[in-house]
Chains A and B, each alone.
Chain A
């Protein structure tokens, strides 16, 4: 039995500390490259399914595009997968930029071709990705492959017969439902247990494992829905600073909207009450609010 897990390497932006609008307020250390956590959850589900029901199953990881998070991919491989396949398509551009990723149709088509070539019986993917969050890949895959599809599952188990699968999903507001689904099928997975820790021997194996490249030409039909503009978030100030009243209104508004960092002007007096009193007195004298007796 082959279980195919589609994993996406993402460029996760966890902070916007830059000042440059050209670079969308991003500094180099504001992003990390990792695997979409929903995809890691789907891998963990696949591993648990194999442990419990199908010890002889092969788990194949499938990813698309350039290797921006190779160490993380190999970590997923070390966690228990058997093979890592990468789809290379001749239309690929820089993957960092979500705007420049191919649209979900194209991605689903490429993945479907790989799934058909590999021959998977269960196809798992994450419910959505953390960088674009379109959440369409599972459904589109199932459509192209003509397989049944259940979204946002949290548990996968074998049913009464070998070709029946039971999946559990949250039906909203605490309600959980269990569905019976015939294999082969496509499931998208919601967050659940964390991906297991890989053992060292497998990490070493995964470091040197060859990634199988699968080359496909780009799809002829272009996407119907196309992104035409992308608005990055304005860096949100953590604490809104008090604008400087001496500045004109335009600058004051600029101050309010400035960076995600706190603009703190002036001296913060700390310490014991005596030292703080001294600090206040020094400030008042230094700025001419109080004339000291000897001037």
Chain B
């Protein structure tokens, strides 16, 4: 092998590797020097990811083609590296390996052709850029490789069919037995490989470096939590790309613009301008064009504001449902960048959509989103024998966190009262904070008002610190996510459980009996903050399965693929501009499955879907009900 390489060839390889190295180093420096702590990195996770390619296989055809191309690139590379160590294989084994290589080459050819066809058919401005060049180079490598093999066999064994080199043998029949031709093909093959190596940082193939890095450095903590802003240091969100952390920039680099996020984004689907793909691509574009160093260093001009490339109308349309994060094959997260854009918009420029200002002001003054005040927070509990933690701390095992919706909204108050009925029937020693409870702060945080969030959180944390750590049971997944995943960053670790999980536990322990039947057909609408954020899908379904007479049907878009109700991310208080209302889109989808009952696990979903189905004005309107309500009705 080594004897075939001339000095020129070695020089070319060296140049190619240099080009690749320099290019990658430039890309690397783009984010490697930025702020943020570097996590340890999960090598086992990366290897599992590369071997299984599960996320990419979610689009089956593309996934298979990608596997073919992936192994077609990786295995020969490994073989070339191994071949440098110069060892002799037994003839039989080398023939088998040759055959496998041919088969792999064939599959890779088919895969590459499929991807080319797909790329030429789907032309989207937002789609992956600079792919055709890359596919051309790959095809050149493949075709020239097969042709060279064919020519070689044509010269050596013109009549015999070599079983271990089927493709070559076929070509050997038609090609001229010309050493010049063979040499030409080998040269072309070699040059094409050098070109491939050299263009890694400059073409679509950069994802082969960036994506595994992104997978390697994937956030390991369970649960999705927005990062806490250390406001004192002036960190108020993302004005321009210089304010993003290295991981956020790596995300942007690893994005392959496949569009799965956009396909599953409720705002996108319902016709809004928001496209998570565009967010990632714009960040990458700005970072490459303007650099990411702060303007102070080296007198560079300040990069333009991100909000000029990603308009406020777009990032206010996000419902923070996390579908983009769940569907991304390279684990990029558009969500936290959208929230950082919002944070700067609110705290750096004072621009909050007008509809939400009243709610934020109410949160500021009264500590709840409805503006009714702490004095009325426990009105729902009057004369229902609900102990208040302040006086009952000694005999309490469970703290029932009610949340703003459950405390003040008439429809959600019924759910809270149903939960109390369940707890009392099961003989659970629980208590509520009552008037001492404040909003968990989720709407403020999602809308970008971090100062308000931290203040509300501190007020609540003071209450938690006063009493011994009880298990917190909450009815609202937003409160669940905030208390469980976001309060620890503020110094308060709590054991938080959702009401459906807790009630399922009571049922399993035999403390509850679901006696009264309900002969209806029910579908569970998975709440984004319960499902994708916290991985709780089974508990509501198990609860419903235990109710006699209830038939469960599964919606098409459920579990991780569930469609948002449109209320999250502070959008409950915002108007929808353009397209259709997200809750109506979801309500229509559910109504099409002809269920009589829609089971929800979140007060936002309850209100949004209820409005949605009612606005459809169907003959048989499905009834939207919280799973806790259904369970309480069936209680014996």
What residues make up the interface of A, taking CB atoms closer than 8 Å to B? Answer: 14-15, 17, 27, 29-30, 32, 34, 194, 196-201, 203, 261-265, 270-272, 274-275
B635/A275 in contact, CB under 8 A: yes
A270 and B418 contacting across the interface, CB-CB below 8 Å:
yes
The answer to whether A274 and B516 touch across the interface, beta carbons within 8 angstroms, is yes
Chain A residues near B358: list those with CB within 8 A: 194
Partner of A29, one of B348, B374, B382: B374
Task: List residues 497-531 of chain B with CB under 8 A from any CB of chain A.
Answer: 515-518
Could you tell me if A32 and B635 are in contact, using CB atoms closer than 8 angstroms? no
Which chain B positions have C-beta within 8 A of A265?
383
Report the Cα distance A194→B353, complex, angstroms: 13
Known contacts A197-B350, A200-B451, A271-B632; decide if A29 and B435 are in contact (CB<8 Å): yes
* Sampled A-B contacts (13; CB under 8 Å): A29-B375, A32-B373, A198-B350, A200-B347, A201-B348, A261-B379, A261-B382, A270-B417, A270-B421, A271-B632, A272-B633, A275-B515, A275-B633
Nearest first, the 7 closest Cβ-Cβ pairs linking A and B are A15-B375, A200-B347, A271-B633, A197-B350, A29-B374, A199-B350, A272-B516
Q: Which of B351, B357, B374 contacts A194 (CB 8 A)?
A: B357
Q: Are A29 and B373 CB-contacts (below 8 A) given A197-B357, A200-B231, A262-B382?
A: yes
> Inside 8 A of B346's CB, which chain A residues have their CB?
197
Docked complex Cα distance between A194 and B356 (Å): 12
Q: Which residues of B contact A262 (CB under 8 A)?
A: 382-383
B375 touches A27 (CB 8 A): yes
Contacts across chains A and B counted by CB atoms under 8 Å: 73
Q: Specify which chain B residues have a CB less than 8 angstroms from the CB of A272 in the assembled complex.
A: 516-518, 633-634
- CA–CA, A196 to B352, complex, Å? 10
Nearest CB in chain B to that of A30: its residue: B375
Which of A14, A34, A263, A271 interacts with B375 by CB under 8 Å? A14
B347-A271 in contact (CB<8A): no
Q: Are A263 and B383 also in contact (CB < 8 A) when A270-B421, A271-B634, A272-B634 are?
A: yes
How far does the alpha carbon of A15 sit from the alpha carbon of B374 in the complex, in Å?
9
Q: Nearest A residue to B231 by beta-carbon distance? A: A200
Residue of B nearest to A78 (CB): B350
Residues of the B chain whose Cβ atoms lie less than 8 Å from the Cβ of A199: 347-350
Chain A neighbourhood of B376, CB < 8 A = 15, 17
Contact call A32/B361, Cβ cutoff below 8 A: no
B363 at the interface (CB under 8 A from A): no
Q: B136 at interface (Cβ–Cβ under 8 A)? A: no
Interface string of B372-402 (1 = CB under 8 A from A): 0111100100110000000000000000000
In angstroms, how far is the closest chain A Cβ from the Cβ of B201? 38
Q: Known contacts A29-B375, A197-B346; is A270 also within 8 Å of B451 by CB?
A: no
How distant is A255 from chain B, measured CB to nearest CB, in Å? 14
The reply to whether A271 and B516 contact each other, CB–CB distance below 8 Å, is yes
Return the chain A residue nearest B421 by Cβ: A270
Q: Shortest CB–CB separation between residue A268 and chain B, in angstroms?
A: 9
Separation in Å of the B351 CB from the closest CB of chain A? 8
Closest to B418 in A: A270
Contact A270 B347 (CB under 8 A): no
Residues of A within 8 A of B365 (CB): 32, 34
Question: Smallest distance from the beta carbon of A93 to chain B beta carbons, Å?
Answer: 25
Q: Do A196 and B350 contact each other (CB < 8 Å), given the known contacts A32-B366, A270-B418?
A: yes
Asked if B236 is an interface residue, CB under 8 A from chain A, the answer is yes
Q: Select B373's contact among A14, A194, A197, A261, beta carbons within 8 Å.
A: A14
Least distance between B326 CB and chain A CB atoms (Å): 32
Q: A270-B632, A271-B635 are in contact. Are A203 and B516 (CB under 8 A)?
A: no
B359 to A: closest C-beta gap in Å: 12
Is B636 engaged at the interface, CB distance under 8 Å to the other chain?
Answer: yes
A201 CB contacts on chain B under 8 angstroms:
234, 348
Closest to B383 in A: A264
A272 to B548, CA, bound (A): 13
Is B375 a contact partner of A17 (Cβ separation < 8 A)?
yes
Closest chain B CB from A39 CB (angstroms): 15
Give the residue of A196, A200, A261, A264 whose beta carbon is less than 8 angstroms from that of B236: A200
Residues of B220-234 contacting chain A, CB below 8 A: 231, 234
CA distance A200 to B231 in the complex (A): 9
A4 vs chain B, min Cβ distance (A): 23
Distance between B537 CB and nearest chain A CB, rounded to angstroms: 26
Task: State the Cβ distance, B344 to closest chain A Cβ, in Å.
Answer: 9
The distance in angstroms between the C-alpha atoms of A194 and B359, with both chains bound, is 12
CB distance from B483 to the nearest CB of A (A): 22
Q: Which residue of A lies closest to B632 (CB)?
A: A271
Contact B633 A270 (CB under 8 A): yes
Q: A-facing mask of B329-365, CB < 8 A → 1, else 0?
A: 0000000000000000011111110000110110001
Q: Mark B445-459, 1 if CB is under 8 A from A, else 0.
A: 000000100000000
Query: How many angstroms from the CA of A270 to the CA of B352 in the assembled complex?
Result: 42
Residues on the A chain within 8 Å of B518, using CB:
272
Roughly how many angstroms separate A197 CA and B444 CA in the complex, as a whole number? 13
Select from chain B the residue with minimum beta-carbon distance to A197: B350
Q: Return chain A residues, CB-CB under 8 Å to B357.
A: 194, 197
User: Which residues of B (577-636) have their CB < 8 Å from a CB of A?
Assistant: 632-636
> In the complex, how many angstroms separate the beta carbon of A254 from the nearest chain B beta carbon?
17
Question: Nearest A residue to B360 by beta-carbon distance?
Answer: A197
Contact call B375/A194, Cβ cutoff below 8 A = no
What is the minimal beta-carbon distance from A101 to any residue of chain B, in angstroms? 21
Give A265 to B346 CA distance when docked, in angstroms: 48
> Whose C-beta in chain A lies nearest to the C-beta of B366?
A32
Q: When chains A and B are docked, how far (Å) is the Cα of A196 from the Cα of B351?
A: 9
Q: Which residues of A contact B418 (CB under 8 A)?
A: 270
Residues from chain B with Cβ under 8 Å of A17 in the complex: 375-376
Residues of B within 8 A of A264 (CB): 382-383
Tell me how far the C-beta of B569 lies from the nearest C-beta in chain A, rounded to whole angstroms. Answer: 18
Bound: A45/B421 CA distance, A? 52
Residues of A within 8 A of B350 (CB): 196-199
How distant is B347 from chain A, measured CB to nearest CB, in Å?
Answer: 4
- CB neighbours (8 Å) of A203 from chain B are 451
Residue of A nearest to B357 (CB): A194
- Which of B231, B375, B635 has the largest number of chain A CB atoms within 10 A? B375
| Extra pairs beyond A197-B352, A272-B516 (17, CB < 8 Å) | A14-B366, A15-B373, A29-B435, A194-B358, A199-B350, A200-B231, A200-B348, A200-B451, A261-B379, A261-B382, A262-B382, A262-B383, A264-B383, A270-B417, A270-B633, A271-B635, A275-B516
Q: Which residues of B contact A198 (CB under 8 A)?
A: 350
